[in-house]
């Protein structure tokens, strides 16, 4: 999922009761819920290296304890700073005679704080599993990618649900202060638990709708040839709408499925994608760094030789007479649809890649999303 959902989920985890066990629980949970995405720093080494390491070791059951430990270490530094500040204020002479000493902060129980951060770090893996990009939670022992594909990578319903759980208690607190009611130090526990339960309920609903969509496709002949495998990709907001990909021996066919109306829309003219031919350039491209990384991750990858087509972000190779170059494109059908409308007006996915191949055998540059791998 994108960072907003992770941050909001972590905040709700902290406020669901763990903040009553130790100070800094909500802060630690909020940071740990998103900390795994620090692997985006690999993009400074180039887009292909970024793809190679994204959702890598920080998104695994092996890496989650280390992620939690780093977050707790950062909170410890903040705690030491707060402790020093509190002692300085307590030692300073009071401005007025009889002025009360600064209140002592809530005690920090480091075991509880680490448990809070670990739960939040594991929530990151769970949330990323729910979308169609996938995670490798058992890496490095098992490099396989797993994806639930039940929630779009940006889900406004979750933003609303989790956001309200954090905002409403504050608004109610303002109302209480207006009428002079006693302020609770741990406001919002019920709302946070409700939001987290609502998230799970949304997942269950979407899982059921996806299963229904899959059953619909299995009971109707959409493609003109036997289907070897199929995939269903989610749309945001609408739990009844799914983008289907069906693979046959010679082509792919896409369809739009609506479990609410029971309709399956697919045009054999415009929604059929024939499998590209493997040329020497394609075989050479598969052996490059991009080829190894992309084919490991792209469960619905397509590799096409498109001839001499220059790519944004890098000039085509300059060659002496007698030598030729060609462009090989990498794409994944899971991300070849637009979430705004079916089949029309979609832009090229930033998760697409390209390789320049010279004379059908040598690499002369590669990149992704308009950026070259240097």
Domain boundaries, the chain: 3-93+103-203, 220-273, 276-372
* HEC-encoded secondary structure of the chain: CCHHHHHHHHHHHHHCCHHHCCCCHHHHHHHHHHHHHHHHHHHHHCHHHHHHHCCCHHHCCCCHHHHHHHHHHHHHHHHHHHHHHHHHHHHCCCCCCCCCCCCCCCCCCHHHHHHHHHHHHHHHHHHHHHCCCCECCCCCCCCCCECCCCCCCCCHHHHHHHHHHHHHHHHHHHHHHHCCCCCCCCCCHHHHHHHHHHHHHHHHHHHHHHHHHHHHHHHCCCCCCCCCEEEEEECCCCCCEEEEEEECCCEEEEEEEECCCCEEECCCCCCEEECCCCCHHHHHHHCCHHHHHHHHHCCCEEEEEEECCCECCECCCCCCCCCCEEEEEEEEHHHCCCCCCCCCCCCCCCCCEEEEEECCCEEEEEEECCEECC
Residue 173, pLDDT score: 60
Beta bridge partners of 225: none
Query: Which of 254, 258, 256, 250 is CA-nearest to residue 269?
Result: 254
Tell me the CB-side half-sphere exposure of residue 193, using CA atoms within 13 A.
Answer: 8
**Mean pLDDT for each consecutive 10-residue tract of the chain (374 residues)?**
96 94 94 95 91 93 97 93 74 54 71 97 97 94 95 95 91 56 69 96 98 95 93 96 96 96 93 94 96 94 92 82 92 84 48 92 89 82
Residue 99, pLDDT score: 54
Residue 344, pLDDT score: 41
Residue 172, pLDDT score: 63
If phi > 0 it is left, if psi is from -120 to 50 it is alpha, else beta; for residue 222 that is: alpha
Residue 169, pLDDT score: 84
């Amino acid at each position: 999922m994108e960072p907003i959902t992770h941050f909001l989920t972590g905040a709700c985890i902290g406020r669901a009761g763990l903040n009553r066990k130790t100070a800094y629980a909500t802060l630690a949970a909020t940071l740990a819920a998103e900390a795994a995405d620090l692997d985006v720093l690999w993009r400074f080494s180039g887009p292909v290296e970024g793809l190679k390491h994204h959702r890598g070791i920080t998104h695994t059951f092996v890496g989650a304890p280390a992620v939690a430990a780093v977050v707790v270490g950062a909170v410890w530094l903040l705690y030491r700073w707060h402790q020093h500040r509190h002692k300085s204020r307590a030692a300073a002479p009071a401005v007025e005679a009889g002025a009360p000493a600064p209140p002592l902060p809530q005690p920090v129980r480091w075991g509880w704080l680490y448990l809070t951060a670990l739960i939040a770090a594991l929530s990151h893996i769970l949330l990323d599993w729910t979308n169609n990009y996938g995670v490798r939670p058992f890496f490095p022992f098992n490099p396989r990618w797993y994806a639930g594909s039940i929630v779009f990578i940006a889900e406004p319903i979750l933003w609303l649900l989790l956001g309200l759980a954090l905002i409403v208690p504050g608004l109610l607190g303002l109302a209480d202060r207006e009428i002079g009611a006693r302020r609770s130090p741990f406001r919002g526990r019920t709302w946070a638990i409700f939001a987290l339960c609502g998230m799970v309920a949304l997942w269950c609903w979407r899982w059921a709708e996806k299963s229904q969509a899959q059953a619909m496709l299995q009971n109707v002949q959409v493609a003109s040839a036997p289907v070897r495998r199929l995939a269903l990709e989610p749309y945001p907001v609408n739990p009844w709408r799914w983008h289907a990909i069906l693979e046959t021996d010679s082509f792919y066919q896409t369809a739009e499925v609506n479990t609410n109306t029971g309709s399956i829309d697919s045009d054999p003219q415009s929604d059929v994608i024939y499998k590209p031919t493997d040329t020497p350039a394609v075989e050479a491209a598969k052996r490059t760094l991009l080829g190894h990384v992309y084919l490991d991750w792209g469960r619905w990858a397509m590799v096409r030789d498109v001839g001499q087509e220059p790519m944004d972000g890098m000039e085509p190779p300059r060659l002496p007479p007698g030598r030729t170059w060609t462009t090989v494109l990498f794409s994944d059908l899971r991300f070849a649809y637009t979430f705004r409308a079916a089949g029309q007006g979609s832009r090229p996915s930033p998760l697409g890649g390209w390789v320049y191949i010279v004379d059908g055998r040598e690499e002369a540059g590669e990149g992704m999303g308009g950026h070259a791998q240097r």
